Amino acid sequence: QMQLVESGGGSVQAGESLRLSCAASRDTWSAYYMGWFRQAPGKEREGVAAIHTRDKTTFYADSVKGRFTISLDNYERTLYLQMNSLKPEDIGTYFCAADRGFPAGPSLSSTSYNFWGQGTQVTVSS
């Protein structure tokens, strides 16, 4: 089992930045992928960014490429998501996720992940 706790959400104006953090209860390298997902009201959960925990290869949804950066500090057991140039369409609850240590599917698919945090809310006003 891995417990995940997100923090760093908030309300910002369009164009501003936020940095989300996700603290893991065990060594993050025990997962194969860790990722960030978001869910807006009335919409399905979508993959935003993912990272291979060992070689740090990153993956991004087209909607956030060039604006968001995912990073992982294995020593601190913490996953980050730096979000710049935020837009109103980035609104939602952001979740951190980890798998069981082997790839179970595409890195940005929610079905590939086994452990989830409670989420942190991001609001962007225009």
What pLDDT, in 10s, does the model give residues 91-107? Answer: 999 999 999 998 888 99
Instruction: Give the model confidence (pLDDT) of 59-91 as tens digits.
Output: 999 999 999 999 999 999 999 999 999 999 999
One-letter-per-residue 3-state SS of the chain: CCCEEEECCEEEECCCCEEEEEEECCCHHHCCEEEEEEECCCCCCEEEEEEECCCCCEEECCCCCCCEEEEEECCCCEEEEEECCCCHHHCEEEEEEECCCCCCCCCCCHHHCCEECCCEEEEEEC
What's the pLDDT tens digit per position in 12-61?
A: 999 999 999 999 999 999 999 999 999 999 999 999 999 999 999 999 99
Instruction: Kindly report each contact of residues 63-69 with a partner whose C-beta sits within 8 Å and lies 24 or more positions away, as own/partner.
Output: 63/89, 64/90
- What distance, in Å, lies between the first and last C-alpha atoms of the chain? 40
Amino acid at 44: E
Q: Tell me the C-alpha distance between 73 and 46, whole Å.
A: 23
pLDDT at 77: 96
